[in-house]
Structure 1
C-alpha cells in the first residue's frame, strides 16, 4: 500500500486551504479582463471588436474581395472559428451579420447576399446567406503585408493574426459600436465619413485644435436610418466628456391620403427602431386611450420606395397635435445615450471627440511610418541586388568564366565576391541569374529600375525625416478614402430645448388635439374646386380676393363652422353630408380657389354625378333651399327637414331630369331660371310653397320644345345685380367658335308669374342656336375656360335682348367673386 501524507490521499498529493473570497476575486478579475479586452469593447484605433477584426482579416486571407463571388456565410464562420476565434459560431455569425446591415452600419463592411435580417426580424441561418468583403473593408485591411501593425498568436499559438487593422478611415466614429462588458459598457453613435475625415485632417495639421474647431466639421452624429436629432446640448457633452444623451425623432410629413383623409407619413425612423415596433406601440396607446385621433396604421414599405409608414388621422383632429402625442408615447422619438468607452493601449477609457480622433490619427501616423520604413527597406534590398546585377552584366564574360572554372557553387560564390567586390547576397543572386536576363534590353530595364529605386528611396527617406510631410501623406490618403466612400448626411440636426417626452400627464384630452370649431365659409368653384376660409367672427364673413387666378369663379358658398355640417347637392338630387374640417383651408386675406380639392374626389361622388351647390345643414339656419331642375321644376325645402344621415334625397326627380342649381334664399329674393333658348324667368321665392324631401316640386318655368334649363339660382334685385349670357353655334367644331357674351342689369328683366316662359334674355345672330352658359348675381361676373383660366367678359351693360360681343376665348362657366358673395347666403 502506498504511503499517504493524509489519510485517504495517494503519495505526493495534499489538500491546501484556500480563502474562497480571494479565489473568487481573482477568478472574477481574470474573467472581467477577458471580456473587456477580448470580446465586448472595440479598439479605439480601428473601431473593431476582436471577433469583427478576425472576420475581416480571415475573409481577406480567403480572397473574398469585392470583385470575387460571394461564398456561404457558414464557410466564413467556420474558418474564423477554427483558426482565430475560440467561441461559438452563433456569436461569429451575429457579428458578421451586423457588419453587413446597412441600417446598423453607416458604412457596411461586408457585402451580404440573402436575408440578413431587418430591424424587426432576424437573419436567415448562415447556411442560407452568402458574403464577401465590401469595398470599404479593403481600405480597412490594406497594407497588412507591409508590417504596418503587430501580429499576435491565435488562441492555440499556431497562426498569427493582426492585433489591430490598419484602418484607412476612422471606423469607430463612422460606424459606432455597442457592447456590454463586466462593470462597463459602450454605446457609440455612427457619424458621417466625410465629416469625420475632415475633422481628422484638421487635427493632423493642427495638433492643438480645440473641440469647438473639430465640431465645425463634425456637428453631430449621422445615423444610418436618417431621422432628426432634436437638441444638440447632449451631443456636445458627449463630444467633450465621452458621455451624453440626445433625442432622435422620425421624419414625418402630413399628407392627404385621400381627398377627405389626412395622414402622417413616416419615411425615416430613429436609429435601430423598426416599423413593427412602432405599429405595436401605437395600437397599445390607442387601446389604452393614451393616443386619440388615430384611425389606422399601415406599413407600405417596399424595396422601391423604402420605408413608408402611414398613420391615418381621424376627421377633425389636428395632425400636428397628434404627432406630438406620438412622439411622447411611441418610439417615433427615442433617446440615445452616448458612452464612448474603447480600448486604448489595452485599457478601457472614456473618450471625447478629440480623444477619439487623436487616437486614430496617431494610429495612422504609426501605420504610414511603419509602411514607409518597410518599403524603404525593401527598396534598399532591391537596389542592392540591381547594382550587383549591373556589375555582372558589364563584365558578363568574366563572370561566366569565373563560374565555369569554379569547382562548386560555394567556390563560385566566393570567387565572385573576391573578383567583383560583391556581397554574399549579390553573389548568390548572380548565380541564380537566368541567361535571358543577359540581353541589352534587360540591362536598360535594370538601369531604369535602379533610377526609380533611387528616387523612391529618396522620397521615402524625405517622408520619414519630416513630420510635416508624414502628416500631409496621411491627410492625402484620408482625402482619397473620403472621395471614394463618403455619402451625403442623412440625419437632420435641430436645436430644441423643450422635450416632448417625460410629461406628467398620462392621458390625452381629445379636445386639445381637435381642430378648433371656428367660423368659416366653404366655397365651391364653377370648376368643382372646394376650399374653406377660416374667418374670425369680427370680420363677419368678409373675404379678400387679390388679382384673378385659376378656378376663381364661385358657384356656391355657405357659412358654417370648421366642425359644422355642410351638404353637397348633386345633379341627381342627392345631398352628401360632410364636415369642412378636412377641406383645404386658405387665408381670408388671399382666397385662391385653385388651392382647393376636387369636390367629386373629396366626397367620392360617382362619375355620373356632379355637385351643383352647397347647402347648410345647420338647424339654426332659417332660409329655405330652392332647387331647380333641367326640366323647369322648382322646389323649396326648409332646413328642419334634413335628416341625420350621411346622404339623402332632397327632391324626387322625374325620369331623365336632373338638378341644375340650388340656392339657400330668403323669401324676399327672386328665383331665376335661364333656359337654353335664351328665356329668363324670375319670380318671388315666396311664390313656391316649401315641401318635404320626397316631393318632386312644382312647375317653375315653361319650356319650349327641345329647350332645357341651363342655370337656376336666386338673386336680390339691386342695382349691382346682373345677368351674364353666352351664345354659340352648336354645329361649330369645339374650340373654333368662342361665341358672343353680354352682361345686362337684372332690372332689365321684368318679373313674371311662376310657370310662364319669362322674357327673352339674348338675341341670336345668324347661325347661333342657343345659350351655353348663363349666370345671375352680384357684379362682377367671373368667367373661366375649360382649363380653369380666367376669361374676359364685356364690362358694359347691354339691353336684355341684345346679341352681345364676340369673345376672345371659349367660356365654359361663369360664377361670382368670392369677395362679392354675401356671407349670409348660400348662392353666388
Structure 2
C-alpha cells in the first residue's frame, strides 16, 4: 500500500532502475495522511532530532496498522525482523474481531466468518501463491517461521506446450527471472525448453507475462517443477515477527502484535480526546465571557468607554458582578448548571482574565444580533462535544468502540482483494516431481556394482545369439537385472536377511559398457554382504506381502507395509540360521501361488496362504524339503496363463506351463519325482503323446500341480552333464522379452516365444551359446506390460 505517490519513472517489475531525482516528483498518499492524522493533537511524544534543532515524533499516531499492512524487514543492533505485508481488509477485520472478542484464538483471527476472511496469511503486491496455510499459521503462533512463495503459472498443453508465468514472487524481477531460466537451459540443468519470451504489457493490463516455449513432446509439468526448484519461480520467505514494544525488541505472535497496535490506538485516541476536551473547554470558556458581555452590553460599553486603557478595562470587567439570573440567560440552563457544579452556587459571578481579554477584543460588528446567535450556536455545539469527550473518556470500552469504527472506515475506504493466493504445496518440491518417470534397466553385478540404463540400450536378438556386452568388470558378472520405474522404490534384500531402501532415481546412470558404481557408495552394506533379491515397488499397498525364500528351503511372508519406513543401515528382513542365506524375494497378494526351484532341478508349487503372515524379525517356515546338498536357487509367482522358464548354466532351458489349480492339494508319493523317465540328450525336447494317449492320460507332465508347503516337489528339468545345474527361473508369456547374462557379462536379449514349450522332466533346448569357458549366470524378464505400465508390481 503506497505511502508516497510517484510521478515519473520509479522503477518497474522488469528490473529497470528509477530515473534520476531531477526527473521525478513525489507526494504523500491518502493512506500516509491517515498515518499522520492527529499528530498535531498531542497524541504522541516528541523528542529532539539528532542535532537538537527540531522535534520529531517518537512514533506516529497510525490509524492504519502499517507494520502489518506494509511489513518491515531489516537488521539493527544484531536483531533481524522479517514482517511480510498483509491485506488491509483482512487485517482490519481481524482487529475488529479482537476488539469484540479479547479472548479470541489465532484460528478465530484467521478464519472466514459470514463470507469475510480474517488474516489468511501474507499478501504480497506481486501476487503469487503461498504453499499451504499450516506453515503460515505456525509462523503466526511461534513468532517466526518460513513459508514457500511460488509464481502463478499456467500450463498450455499441446505437442509444443507452453508455460505462461503471470505473477512472480515478491521482489523478483522479470528480467532476472528470464535470465535465470536461460542460464539453467545453457547449463543443461533443465532440458526441454526451446525459448523464453517476456511478453509483458503493463499498458494492456498484463504487467507480467513470461512465456516459456517447450520442445515437442516435453512434459510441461515436469519442466515447471524443475523451474520451481532451480529458479526464482519459487522462493522461501522468512517470517520473524519482531518489533519494539516500549522501547525493547520483542518477538510477538500475530495476536500479540494486534493487541499492541490496539493498545497504541487506545492511548492515541485517549490523548487525542483529552486534547480536544481541553481545547473545547478553553474555547467554551471564552465564548461564555463573550455571551456574558452581550447580555450586559450597556455595562460593558460603559466600562470600556470610561477606562483609560485596555488593562484598566480588563480589571474593571473582572470586578464587574454578573448576577446569576443574567448568567443563566446568557449561557443557558444546562451550561449554567454545569458551571454551578464547577464553581459552586452563588448569587453573583465574575469574569476570568481570559474572558475579560476576549471581551475587550470584541469588535462592534460582533455585537449584532446575528453574530450573537452564531456565538451562542458555537457555544452550544462545544458543550455537546465536551459531553461526548467526557463520555468517551469515562470507559475504555467507548474508546475501543471508536477504534472499531475507525477500522471499519479504513477497511471500506482502502480495502482491496487479496493478490496472493494459496496453493496445495508445501516447502521444497518433491524430488520425484523433478524427475521424468520412465522405465529403466537396473543391473547389479556379483561384485557389487550398480547402474541404471534405458531399455533401448539392448537390441532384441534371435535365440542362440552371442549377445552384447552388459558392462560387467573383468572377473565379474551381472547378478540382478530388472526393469523398474524411476519413481519406484527398490527394496534390496541381502544374503544376510537385511532389507535396504533405495529410490531408483538415486541409482547412478551409466552406459551399456560402463561398470557402474560400487553399491557401497549407494547403500550401507556389511563385509561380505551382497544383494540377493530386489523388489521394485511403486506404492506400499496394505494388501500386498513379501515372500522371502532361503537357501535351505525356508519361506516367510510379511506385510509389505512393514518395509515402508527406511532406516540407516537397513532393517531386518528375515532371521537366518547359521549357514543359511536369503535367496530370493517375491511380491504376493491373496490368491497367488509360488514355485520354489532348486539347483538340482526340483520344483514345488504351493499357495501363499500356506505361509501365515509374520513379523520382519522372524525365521519363517519350511517351504520345500531338500534332499542331500540341494539348495533353493529361485522363487517365482505362478502365472496360470504363462509358463515357467528354467535355464541351466550350460545355456539350455525350456518353458513349461504353470497350469491351472485344478488338482486337489496333497503330498506327492515318494517316488513321484524320480519315477519320471528323462528324455534322451539332444537339442530337441521329448515329443508329446499320441492323440489317443493324450485323451486318456492326464498331462501332469505339462504343468506344476499345487502341493502343500514343505513337500519334496516334482522334477522340473533334468540337470544332466549337458545342461548343468539350474541357475535361474522366471515366469514368462509369449510376448515377453528375456535378458540372459553370462558369468563374463555377456547379455543376450531374446523373445520368450522363441523358446519351445515342453513338459517337466525334460532337458529343453539351447537358449544361449556361451563363449568357451563361459557359463550362463542368470536370466531376467523384460515384460512389455511392465515397460508400458511403470512398475506398479514387483519385477525381477
Q: What TM-score does the superposition give when structure 1 sets the normalisation length?
A: 0.47
The structure having more radius of gyration, on CA atoms, is: 2
Q: What TM-score does the superposition give when structure 2 sets the normalisation length?
A: 0.49
